[in-house]
Amino acid sequence: MAHVERRLYQRLLVFVAFLHISGVFCFSELFFIKEPHDVTVMRKEAVILDCQAHGESPIDVRWLKNGVKVVENERVYHLPNGSLYISEVESRRGDKSDEGLYQCLAQNKYGAILSQKARLTIASISAFAIQPTPAVVTEGSVARFSCKISAHPPSIITWEFNRVTLPLATERITVLPSGVLQIHRVQQEDAGNYRCICTNIASRRRSTEATLTVAAAPRSQLPQRPRIIAGPQNISVSLHQSAILECIATGNPQPIISWSRADSKSIDVYSTKVLGNGNLIITDIKPQHRGVYMCRATTPGTRNYTVASANITVLAPPSLVEWPESLTRPRAGTARFVCRAEGAPTPQITWLKNGDKVHSNGRIKMYNSKLVINQIIPEDDAIYQCQAENEQGSVLSMARLIVVMSEDRPSAPRNIQADTVSSSAILLAWERPQYNSDKVIAYSVHYMKAEGLNNEEYQVVIGNDTTRYIIDDLEPARNYTFYVVAYMPMGASRMSDNVFKHTLEDVPLRAPELSLTSRSPMDIQVSWQPLPDKLSRGRVSAYRLSYRTSTESTVSQIELPGDKTQHFFQNLKPDTIYLLRIVAATSVGWGEQSVWTSHRTPKTSSALVPMAPELRLEPLNCTAIVARWQLAPRNSISVQGYRLFHHEESQSETSPVQLRALENTYTFGGLDPRKKYHVKLLAYNFVGDGYQADQTISTPGCVSVRDRLVPPPPPPHNVYTKTNSSNSVFLHWGRPAFTSSQAVNYTVRCNPVGLQNASLVLYLQTSEQNLLVRDLEPNTKYEFAIRLHIDQLSSPWSPVVYQSTFPDAPTLPPSNVKVTLIEEDTALVSWKPPDEPNVAVTHYTILYASRNAWIAGEWQVLQREGTITMSLLEKLKPGQIYFVKVSASNHMGNGPFSHTMELNVQADSSGHDPRLSQGSTHSTGFSDGFYHLDQKSMTGITVGVCIALICIIICAFIIVCRGKNRTFSAAKTYGEGVNTSALITGHLGSEGQAEPADVSIPRMSHNHFIDAKGGTNLVINSLGPVQSSTKKKEKWFSFNGNGKKGSKAVQNMTHISASYQPRTAVLTFEDELSMSPDQPTTLQALLWRPGDSEGSSNSEESHATGDSGRYSHDETEMTNLSSRTGSRPPSLSTEDSAGSDCSAASKESDELMGESCADLKLMESVESGCCHYEAKSCSESELSFQVGV
């Protein structure tokens, strides 16, 4: 027996292997040798659509037109090889036309395959969409005509001038294939009539004529900034076609046109060329050519330019990157086919079974470009095709599923029965299989909703020890279908018979959402939408409305039948807040009541304000709500705009969204799932706010793992961003491969980088795979993320991508422009950046010209970087009036020029520098305009100058007072000097020949003083210092008046000294510097007698100067008092001294010595009526004087 079983098992394996090999072999024998292709023919012409299939005979070939079988007749019939022949192509309207999409279907005993789609088009040419229009241009500029027409196949466009055909390209004339005629450097002989001729195989059309008028150019042309008069436009080009980007610019001088890519990639030079004077043509378009192209028109020799940009989208037909493979699976197994395609736009994936479209059900699922077949049955044995399709074409790939049967499998479970237990539970019971029931190891219970398409099938596996099971997660009041499969080690049984059962009703899970509006101050219109089946949990039999005012506790109720969806309350109080709520009931009972919804009735007024809009809310997905509304025609005229409020239940109301009068929809994004939101809308006009409309709505849930037992869909991939302009960014992304029958929506999240306020995040909704985000801020970096929503499932957010908007071209000129003359031929121009935010300035342009040059239109141009806000205008001519203006520019273009400023350069006859002349108006202009001080700075300077003047006055007053004290002291000491000289003489005599530590100096005249510091060659009298004639050259701010006379009186005096007399000590000094490193630093003193004639003469000259005694350190030279050999007496005796006065000038001494000269310290003390001088030399020796009074 074991031997027999072993042989049977071996035969089974051989049989299975044979089935597998034969199935694959036979499948490989069914394929297309020829498939139909797109064709364009003339009307009444014959056409053949090829289709030849090869495989195991017999092969049946059928033709489909737009998915419907083609009926043969005398004009349309099949050829023996399977091709379709049409003897005369008809172009009738509707279904009688032969135009359309054709496919052939080949079938044999293993299955059927469908060919690719082929479009049959009848040649035609339509009327002109755009015709040339008359133009008036200036001689030397550019003329442009354009025409546009729709034709199949595309037409060839030529141009005629006065009914004579123009060449396609000359030195000045360019004809673009898109239908544009460009004439550069227009001449008088170009004036005339122009028209375009469009020709294809169907017909020829001529446009209307347009007259070109050439105006004479002005004799003197002013400089003009470059301006693009015809820039490139966004275009979509099919793969391997040509793309044309037009760019025409004018200006004076003629600008130079250049092209670049916005992503800084290099332009493909092998397939790109420039047509005419700046048009870019790209032949044999490939995917790498897509992107934003920028046309730049630049004035020669300057940085003055303007830019225009356009996006090229490359359209590509689908191409498969992963295709399905043939499979062999046992009964009740699982088969998975994978198919992925790429193209532009992204292809849609469709699965075909033997040429028919596959629909999802409980066993068959389609997601992520996959086809999954669970619980395989014999009917699943077929040929499956993956079809990828977009606007550019379609492509198909095929695979075979072979189902293997087992001979000793159990029979199907019997006598399936279902009994309703409750509103969410059904009891399922069955009997064991009739055959091989002892080999059953488990049962699987399958159930799904009986109504609708694409329902999910759920499966529960239980052991073989029971034949009963309660399914308790069903929805109330729904029909379900059930079947059971028995499993054994060798495979599964057939499916049992299906059984249908209906669950019981339950109370409604939730109350309807209310919508409240008022038509007058004394009524409220209440409306609601019927509950969906999932929430009603049965048929709604009644509604109950409750209402009261906000100040009263008494609640009024009214019951309505279940088929009602609105109710009108009348005779209410004006300008009163009413609270309303609703509850629904089924045959089982009442459900949960809604929360109170508030609504204020309008005020009683004769003013005509807008009525309440008709508001409709619907959830777009689990995080977004779409609000739509409309007004009655009688209200829409006076409406100026709308205010839209929304807030979550139990939350405070947010500020309204202001909307324009033409808008009628708005999307709330970024909401929380499973939350209730209140929305209020009102219209307003010049009178005031209109009547409001209130409505509540709940967002659905996003959680899918717990509710749907399936993972969430993946997020969009390959998110690509590119800047389109200064306020828009274009986004494109790839869609995960879902079945085409499932609608997919996307949410785009957009916000500036670093945004702190979450309420400013922008959420946009779209069903496309691209979006142009508008109304962005210029020169701002944004972050973008995308998520998709499919069948109440939401994916995670895609990875964040960043993109910055272009800076906007300046729209304002530089502000606070000032022009100031700082020298005879030089002026300073200063300005401030334009007063507008988010505008980057890369450079400034300064135009200036004299009046004569301005009349001739000859401006001189200066360029400065964007960080510099001033410039020098040099080599200006005296006696001229100059005009100056400034503009700001960046990479996006040039801003306007500022107002023209005038600068008067006066001729200077005096020859002096206007900046140094006190009477010069230029100097005043310099101080007034050079620094451009604001009001606060001028106030600070004024206060500072006043404080300085007060200090100067106080110092002068102190000096005058101290000068009077010196005069009084000198007169007093003159009479007392004789009595005190004897004491000093005795003291000096005791020192012998040693170097004296104290030297007695006789008193000078009461109107003479000695500069004891040794720093200058000054003799100081009571009125001030007497300067030597060897003083420095007089500077521009030197003193005038009597000082000049004093200088003449002493101009021949080289050394100021007194002749030596016996018994008299005289202090002698020189005005030249003599410093020898070999000699010690000493003080050579020459003593003057009061009656000395030279001293008196000098004193008189000092009186004549009228000097104040103050002098500038810059006007004098520092001198060292050094002694010469023989100039110093060997000794001083008591007879050498004739008495001395302690000069009051000592009180005026200060630290005037430099770092290299003696640090002279004046010590003033009163001890026995004496003044002490103590000098500390910077050299080796120290010298001190003690002068007795």
Long-range Cβ contact pairs of 1156-1160 (< 8 A, separation 24 or more): 1157/1014, 1157/1015, 1157/1118, 1157/1120, 1158/1014, 1158/1081, 1158/1120, 1160/1012, 1160/1013, 1160/1014
Q: How confident is the model at residue 104 (pLDDT cuts 50, 70, 90)?
A: very high
Tell whether the model's pLDDT for residue 1163 goes beyond 70: no
> What CA–CA distance (Å, rounded) separates 42 from 36?
18
623 φ/ψ sector (left φ>0, alpha ψ -120 to 50, else beta): alpha
Task: Report pLDDT for 1156.
Answer: 37
Q: How confident is the model at residue 264 (pLDDT cuts 50, 70, 90)?
A: confident
Tell whether the model's pLDDT for residue 195 goes beyond 90: yes
Specify the amino acid at residue 40: T
- Of residues 391 and 837, more confidence is placed in 391
Tell whether the model's pLDDT for residue 6 goes beyond 80: no
The percent of residues above 70 in pLDDT, for the chain, comes to 72
Question: Partners of 758 in the beta sheet?
Answer: none
Task: Report pLDDT for 209.
Answer: 93
Q: What is the mean pLDDT of the chain?
A: 75
- Of residues 535 and 76, more confidence is placed in 76
Q: How confident is the model at residue 1158 (pLDDT cuts 50, 70, 90)?
A: very low
CB 746 within 8 A of CB 788: yes
Tokens 């946009």 — which residue? 764
CB 805 within 8 A of CB 778: yes
- Of residues 408 and 781, more confidence is placed in 781
The percent of residues above 90 in pLDDT, for the chain, comes to 18
> What CA–CA distance (Å, rounded) separates 747 from 750?
10
107-111, 364-368, 745-749, range with the lowest pLDDT: 364-368
76-85, 163-172, 971-980, range with the lowest pLDDT: 971-980
Kind and range of the H or E element at 557?
A: strand 556-561
Tell whether the model's pLDDT for residue 441 goes beyond 60: yes
Task: Report pLDDT for 90.
Answer: 86
136-140, 955-959, 1020-1024, range with the lowest pLDDT: 1020-1024
| Those residues with Cβ within 8 angstroms of residue 138's Cβ, 6 or more apart along the chain or in another chain | 186, 214, 215, 216, 217
Mean pLDDT, range 829-841, rounded to an integer: 87
Per-residue pLDDT tens digits for 1071-1092: 433 344 444 443 333 334 434 3
Task: Report pLDDT for 49.
Answer: 92
Tell whether the model's pLDDT for residue 829 goes beyond 90: yes
Tell whether the model's pLDDT for residue 658 goes beyond 80: yes
Mean pLDDT, range 743-749, rounded to an integer: 85
| Those residues with Cβ within 8 angstroms of residue 972's Cβ, 6 or more apart along the chain or in another chain | none
> What CA–CA distance (Å, rounded) separates 31 from 158?
46
Tell whether the model's pLDDT for residue 706 goes beyond 70: no
The strand pair at 224-230 and 248-252 is best described as antiparallel
Task: Report pLDDT for 636.
Answer: 55
> What CA–CA distance (Å, rounded) separates 102 from 80?
18
The helix/strand/coil state of 957 is helix
Under DSSP, the state recorded for 1128 is: S
125-134, 244-253, 1039-1048, range with the lowest pLDDT: 1039-1048
**Nearest to 159, CA basis, from 170, 167, 150:** 167
Q: How confident is the model at residue 103 (pLDDT cuts 50, 70, 90)?
A: very high
Longest dimension (CA), the chain: 168
Q: How confident is the model at residue 650 (pLDDT cuts 50, 70, 90)?
A: confident
Tell whether the model's pLDDT for residue 528 goes beyond 70: yes
Specify the amino acid at residue 28: S
Per-residue pLDDT tens digits for 493-524: 778 888 998 888 888 888 888 888 888 888 89
Task: Report pLDDT for 966.
Answer: 62
Task: Report pLDDT for 837.
Answer: 78
Task: Report pLDDT for 544.
Answer: 92
Please tell me whether the overall predicted TM-score, pTM, comes out greater than 0.75 for this model: no
Task: Report pLDDT for 1126.
Answer: 40
1019 φ/ψ sector (left φ>0, alpha ψ -120 to 50, else beta): beta
Mean pLDDT, range 115-127, rounded to an integer: 90
Task: Report pLDDT for 1123.
Answer: 37
CB 46 within 8 A of CB 120: no
Per-residue pLDDT tens digits for 789-805: 876 677 888 888 999 98
> What CA–CA distance (Å, rounded) separates 1152 from 1146?
13
Mean pLDDT, range 428-453, rounded to an integer: 83
* Sheet with 657-660, side-by-side order of all strands: 566-569, 524-528, 514-517, 689-698, 676-684, 641-648, 657-660
Tell whether the model's pLDDT for residue 575 goes beyond 90: no
Per-residue pLDDT tens digits for 294-326: 999 999 888 888 999 999 999 999 998 888 988
Task: Report pLDDT for 344.
Answer: 87
